[in-house]
Amino acid sequence: MNFPYVTNRVSITDDWSIHLPFVLNLRVDEGSLVLWRPGFTIWLDAMRNDNHLSLQNRKQHFQDSADENRYDECEVAEEDRLYYSYRLKEPSEDERAPALYGFAFGTAGHLQMAFYFDEEEDAAIAQSILTSANQSAPALPNVGIFSSLCFVSKLALEEGQPVAYMYRETPDDADDSGWRFFAGTESQEYVDDPANLLVCPVAFVAEHSPEVVPWLLSEPGAALELQEDRFVQVE
């Protein structure tokens, strides 16, 4: 089964979105949203505040019921949100790092997130994803484009140069997005060599060059060039 890809800021509910700093696959498993890549997994549930309880009241409920072996508790308060998290070492058959369990409380409800990761340094990434949860608009109203395929220059993906030129053709088939991405420094000879072009999901270009994301739903025929730090349409 091919699971869709997501990255950047994505919508969870009408009240919540989160920012993903890298590409993750997405599925729904027993009612929970699961986002994952090798070595990093998020299980996420969204709950309503039907009893109209305060942020602190709901946080205290989960803190009181948390495992007594928790450690590294963290609480971050903002004007209309409250984040609470802790680490927990659990029995496992692998050598993964202790999990991070987190909650993002808002007036209308809250998100519950469980982060599982292999490397200890990913704990900071998990915490940043948790505290990114807010009501900001998602990067795209429809994330389906992230899973579509595109052509991208090796200079702009494997060799680290940012995408500086992008255009969208009429897609070749149902899997093709029509997008073609370039660093802008390629010679015609370089572009004419098929070995210098990669085929990959659009999500991986968006992860490398997030500046392309606001333009991904442009119609075929669009052509854009990076000028300073933003793309502008060109003829």
Q: Are 165 and 225 in contact (CB under 8 A)?
A: yes
Residue extents of the structural domains in the chain: 5-131, 143-233
pTM for this entry: 0.93
Phi, then psi, of 223 in degrees rounded to 5 = -140, 130
Q: How confident is the model at residue 16 (pLDDT cuts 50, 70, 90)?
A: very high
CA neighbours closer than 13 Å in the CB half-sphere of residue 166? 33
Tens of pLDDT, residue by residue over 65-104, are 999 999 999 999 998 999 999 999 998 888 899 999 999 9
Tens of pLDDT, residue by residue over 111-132, are 999 999 999 999 999 999 999 9
Q: What is the pLDDT of residue 17?
A: 97
Q: Are 107 and 49 in contact (CB under 8 A)?
A: yes
Tens of pLDDT, residue by residue over 154-206, are 999 888 789 999 999 999 899 999 999 999 999 999 999 999 999 999 999 99
Q: Which residue has the tokens 């700093």?
A: 21
Q: What is the pLDDT of residue 2?
A: 85
Q: How confident is the model at residue 218 (pLDDT cuts 50, 70, 90)?
A: very high
What kind of fold does domain 5-131 have according to CATH? Protein Transport Mog1p; Chain A (3.40.1000)
Residues ≥6 apart with Cβ < 8 Å to 82: 55, 56, 59, 75, 76, 104, 105
For residue 46, list its beta bridge partners.
111
